[in-house]
Amino acid sequence: MDALSILGLRPGDSLEDAKARHRTLCKRYHPDKNPGNDQTAGFIAMQEAYEAILKDPSLLKKPVDVDNLPSYLDTPVEIRLEDIYFARKKTVKIERNAPCTSCLGTGSELGPEGLCATCKGTGRIESNVLDLMGRSSVCPICSGLGYTGKPCQSCIGTKRTNEVVECTFLVNLRSYYKRTVVLKGKGNIQTDGSCGDLILSLKIAKHPRFHIEGNNFCTNVPVLPVQRILGDRSRISVFGRILTYHILPNTTETYIIDEIRPSLQRGIKLSFVEIAPLLTDETKKMYKKILEIEKPRIKDAVRARSKNHT
């Protein structure tokens, strides 16, 4: 019988739990407190188990239980902004755990016939030590393996194998903001046949021009001063699609609704960034002429401001 079972502890309990359990058992089973009931053998076994744990606290560590590995599977996936823009379906290949097909998830070379008769393949048995509450402990016959004899040659007794499956999911603005996509029943398969969920953690690849704000795909576009003043019409490439936009006079931005899928309510926000014009002799003459026309307005504005201050 192992030290944890004798003290009524479970794998994963702390050293403080072991000390508290030891104090409780000492009060209950110390020979001096039980003169009419011989508990000497049990008390000695309890003391030896406690000393073994103090000497080697690693006995409290929880071992890996291959029968109860997490059923969910978390996999990172990189997606691009254009995938979100066009609401594309993406297909990824993932590797997940599944019961070994050779031994049918038993770990034994003989399959179900090699299961341990004592623990029925669970690897653990119920124990009642020192009249304590029943606690499960490692099966002494199969040492927690759940089977006896030689292990399966395919999975080397781990009861599991890896399989590659393809999964398809939709990429859109909702998945962009949630950063996760959950596919029901596409995760690890347990030895009892139940399937966990596949959790795709989305990593968004940075785009050189566009970024997302709200429901809009945003970017900056250069405009000339004359375009800002008079207004104009121009074109822009949005993920391979050539779209036309209007520059209204004295505005700083505009929006485009792509008609390819208007039901998505997806827009493109263009912020205007003014750039310096190319000054040739001809354009210099034009700007000088404009300046001569606008100068009287500047003087009138200065006079009006002076009157307001006085």
DSSP labels, 207-227: PSS-EEETTEEEEEEEE-HHH
Residue 190, pLDDT score: 76
Give phi and psi for 248, each to the nearest 5.
Answer: -80, 145
User: With 80 as the cut, is the pLDDT of residue 110 above it?
Assistant: yes
Lowest mean pLDDT among 75-84, 243-252, 299-308: 299-308
Closest to 221 (Cα-Cα) out of 230, 205, 233: 233
**Residue spans of beta strands (DSSP E) within the chain:** 73-79, 89-99, 124-127, 135-138, 160-170, 180-183, 198-204, 211-213, 216-223, 232-238, 241-247, 253-257, 267-274
pTM of the model: 0.59
Tens of pLDDT, residues 244-290: 999 999 899 999 888 765 555 558 999 999 888 778 888 888 888 88
Tens of pLDDT, residues 192-225: 667 888 999 999 999 999 999 988 999 999 999 8
Residue 132, pLDDT score: 45
Q: Stretch 144-172: mean pLDDT, rounded?
A: 86
Tens of pLDDT, residues 50-78: 888 888 887 777 544 445 555 778 899 99
Residue 64, pLDDT score: 44
Provide the 3-class DSSP secondary structure of residue 65: coil
- Residue 303: pLDDT band (50, 70, 90) is confident
Tokens representing 259 are: 């008609």
Residue 208, pLDDT score: 94
Distance CA 78, CA 101 (A): 32
Provide the 3-class DSSP secondary structure of residue 265: coil
Contacts of 161 (CB under 8 A, 6+ apart): 97, 98, 99, 100, 101, 154, 155
Q: Stretch 136-151: mean pLDDT, rounded?
A: 81
Do the beta carbons of residue 185 and residue 167 sit within 8 Å? no
Q: Stretch 87-96: mean pLDDT, rounded?
A: 92
Domains located in the chain, CATH noted: 3-63 (1.10.287.110), 66-95+162-206 (2.60.260.20), 101-158 (2.10.230), 211-274 (2.60.260.20)
Tokens representing 135 are: 């606690």
